[in-house]
Amino acid sequence: MISTEPEASFKRSQLYPGVSCVTYDARFSPSAMRDVNYFDVPDQDYLSGNVTGVKAFWEVAKAAAEDEDDEIFLPIIAAAQKLLDTKYQRGAAAAFLWTVNAALVFASKQPGFAGFMMKELKVIEKDYTDEIKLNAHRMRETNQAFIGNMLGTGFSAASKAPGKQKLEIAGGKNGSDGCQRRERGPKSAADAVVQRP
């Protein structure tokens, strides 16, 4: 049976092993992702919070290096940014974000960084190309459905014989408005004259 105590009194568990700053409501399984706090740090004075923030970065970096989650940093960075204006958690949030920045600057100076960036660009290019192909496929399907809908509601397919291609409207060659429909295909100058009934 689930307790009716205030939410803050419930026990919290770590969502990732070894990452103390990411917690969830322990009444549920981790896969339920209930009440996840991506930057769960204690209230501290600013300098003590700085130490907590650096430790939190190390825990997250270690989990990322062990392939815990390829996108583990994204929600944690977002959560830390929201705490920069708080009174007792901003020290941890600021130190965490400074350390993220320092780690990126350090990484950018490593010899293999350009190769890493090239690899990332290739991934983005592939995703972009795949998306274009998917959109083109969807567009073809949509167009085919639209054409099928037109043909099924009054339009008939044109004859494929050269010079005989027509678009016939339901109700006869002249249509309900009484106007003659001009044939599509090769025409002489005389044929191009609009004839009125």
pLDDT score of 197 more than 60: no
Checking 162-165 for CB contacts under 8 A at 24+ apart, the result is 162/186
Q: What is the mean pLDDT of the chain?
A: 79
Distance CA 22, CA 37 (A): 6
The predicted structure's pLDDT at residue 160 = 44
**In the prediction, which pLDDT does 182 show?**
52
Q: What whole-number percentage of the chain has pLDDT above 70?
A: 70
Residue 118: pLDDT band (50, 70, 90) is very high
pLDDT digits (tens, 9 = 90+) for 10-62: 688 888 889 999 998 877 776 666 789 999 999 999 999 999 999 999 999 99
CA 21/CA 60 separation, integer angstroms? 9
Q: What's the pTM value of the predicted model, to 2 decimals? A: 0.61
H/E/C letters for each residue in the chain? Answer: CCCCCCHHHCCEEECCCCCCCCEEECCCCHHHCCCCECCCCCCCCHHHHHHHHHHHHHHHHHHHHCCCCCCCHHHHHHHHHHCCCCCCCHHHHHHHHHHHHHHHHHHHCCCCHHHHHHHHHHHHHHHHHHHHHHHHHHHHHHHHHHHHHHHCCCECCCCCCCCCCCCCECCECCCCCCCCCCCCCCCCCCCCCCCCC
In the prediction, which pLDDT does 5 show? 36
Dump pLDDT digits (tens) for 71-84. Answer: 899 999 999 999 99
- The four Cα atoms 75, 77, 83, 88 give a dihedral, to 10 degrees, of 110
Percent of the chain with pLDDT over 90: 46
Binned at pLDDT 50, 70 and 90, residue 187 comes out as low
The reported pLDDT for the residue numbered 161 is 45
In whole angstroms, give the CA distance from residue 142 to residue 135: 10
pLDDT band at 180 (very low <50, low <70, confident <90, very high): low
